[in-house]
Structure formats: C-alpha cells, structure tokens
Amino acid sequence: MSMIVMSDPRVAAIPVRECGEPLVDVRTGPVPLLVDDRRSDPDGAFANLRERVRDQLVAAQDRLPGGLRLLVVEGYRPLELQTQYFERYTRRLRSEHPRWTGQQVRDAASRYVSPPEIAPHSAGAAVDLTLVDADGRELDMGTAMNATPEDSDGACFADATNIPAAAKANRAVLTTALTDAGLQPYPFEWWHFSLGDRYWALMQGRPAALYGPTTRPGN
Ligand SMILES: C[C@@H](N)C(=O)N[C@H](C)C(=O)O
Ligand SMILES: [Zn+2]
C-alpha cells in the first residue's frame, strides 16, 4: 500500500467539486449501522456521513462473511474538533521531539490526524470503524482504534507485521469489504476509510474530490 500522508502536497492539490450531497445519520435509514458512543457528541454529529458513503458502507457490510457487522465509531467531525485534534497531537510531537523542524512535526502529525484544511472527516467522507461478530463483540484488530504510531510501535499501520496472525486476517476482512465497495484505506490507520474526499481522489486517480468541508444544517 502506498504510504502517502494527509499533508502530502499532492493531496492538497486535488480540486474539490462539491456535489452538495447531504449528511445522513447512519443510525437511521433503510439499513441502520451499528454505532458506539466512544466519540459521541450531544448533537450526534459523529454518526453522520455523506449519503453515498453510508450507502457504500451498507454494501460493504452485506459482503462480510459469517454474520460479521461493521461498528462505526466516528464519521463526521466538525472543523473546530479536527483543529483541536491536530493541534493537540502536534503539541505532543513537538514536546517529544524538540529538535524536529516544523515540517517534520507536521508530516509526523499528519500520519495520525489530518491537517484541518484537508480533513476528510470534516467533509463527511471518512469513517473510523471496526468489525463485530454476530454477538456484537469486537474482533481483535491488533491495536485499539486510535492507537498512535508512537504508542503502538507502528502496529496501527494497516500493513503492520507486529500483530497476531488473527488480527492481520481480521484487518484483511475489513479492508477487502470496504475497498470492494469503493472506499479508500489509509495506510497509517487500519480503522480509517474514506470515499469522495481529496485523499480518495488522489489514490483512486480521480480528477477531483466530490466532497469538501461541510456543516450540518442548523450549525
Ligand atoms: C485521529 C484519527 N481517528 C483520524 O481520524 N485520523 C485521520 C487521518 C484524520 O484525521 O482524518
Ligand atoms: Zn479517521
């Protein structure tokens, strides 16, 4: 898998041709998806995604073997929250690596959190998710979701070799179902997939992104 970070200038160079598709709450609709409350917010913004992204997740779930289901943890992320995540992690890296240049800090931070101006979650195009079995138990994916590269010794990277064989197999099931449905994996995080954003467009050879930063009605 090509290891392009979110801060790569090729991502920012992709134009956005906003198609205006609405955000929808993935907990409702014809096939409600499972969503847990780890990243919940009072308005339920975290459970929203662009309609086509939701539809393709439903299609991916249909392809899962043996009663497995998707468990969505975080979809839409308002720009202010993305900025908080990025700044907090940047501060951490700066204090842990006082000799790094600003660019080194930015590139390392961008492996784990997208710079706000790119932010696929703030476009409603990206989702952090995992797999559960028929009883709702999470499968072993080798690390907790949102484990950092530093804290997991790189085991959060999709192709990590320092995880058990069963976790590698579980990651492959998740990635195959989602990529078959047109979503783009992010090589630095086994749980992050997107469709329609600039990263997706770059990696899939599309001329433009379908979705730019958006807000929810009334916000
Ligand atoms: C912070 C993590 N859950 C995440 O979503 N990272 C990606 C790269 C992002 O911020 O878009
Ligand atoms: Zn994500």
96 is catalytic: no
pLDDT tens-digit profile of 69-79? 999 999 999 99
Which CATH number belongs to the domain containing residue 25 in this structure?
A: 3.30.1380.10
Asked whether 20 and 11 are in contact (CB, 8 A), the reply is no
| pLDDT tens by residue, 118-177 | 999 999 999 999 999 999 999 999 999 999 999 999 999 999 999 999 999 999 999 999
Confidence (pTM): 0.96
In a domain, 177, yes or no: yes
Establish if 124 belongs to a structural domain: yes
Residue 217 in any domain: the answer is: no
In angstroms, what CA-CA distances link 89 with 33, 36, 82, 109, 110?
30, 24, 11, 6, 9
**Domain range for 88:** 9-203
Residues 6+ apart with CB under 8 A from 21: 50, 51, 52, 210, 211
Q: What is the pLDDT of residues 33-74, one digit of tens each?
A: 999 999 999 999 999 999 999 999 999 999 999 999 999 999
Phi, psi of 49 (to 5 degrees): -150, 165
**Model ipTM value:** 0.96
Q: Indicate which residue's Cα is closest to atom 5 of ligand 1.
A: 113
Q: What is the reported pLDDT for 203?
A: 98
41 in a known ligand binding site: no
Is position 214 within any domain? no
- Closest-lying ligand 1 atom to the alpha carbon of residue 188: 8
Burial 112-147 (b: 16+ CB within 10 A, else e): bbbbbbbbbbbbbbbbbbbbbeeeeeebbbbbebbb
CB 126 less than 6 A from any atom of ligand 1: yes
CA of 6 to the centre of ligand 1 (A): 9
Tell me: is residue 192 an annotated ligand-binding position: yes
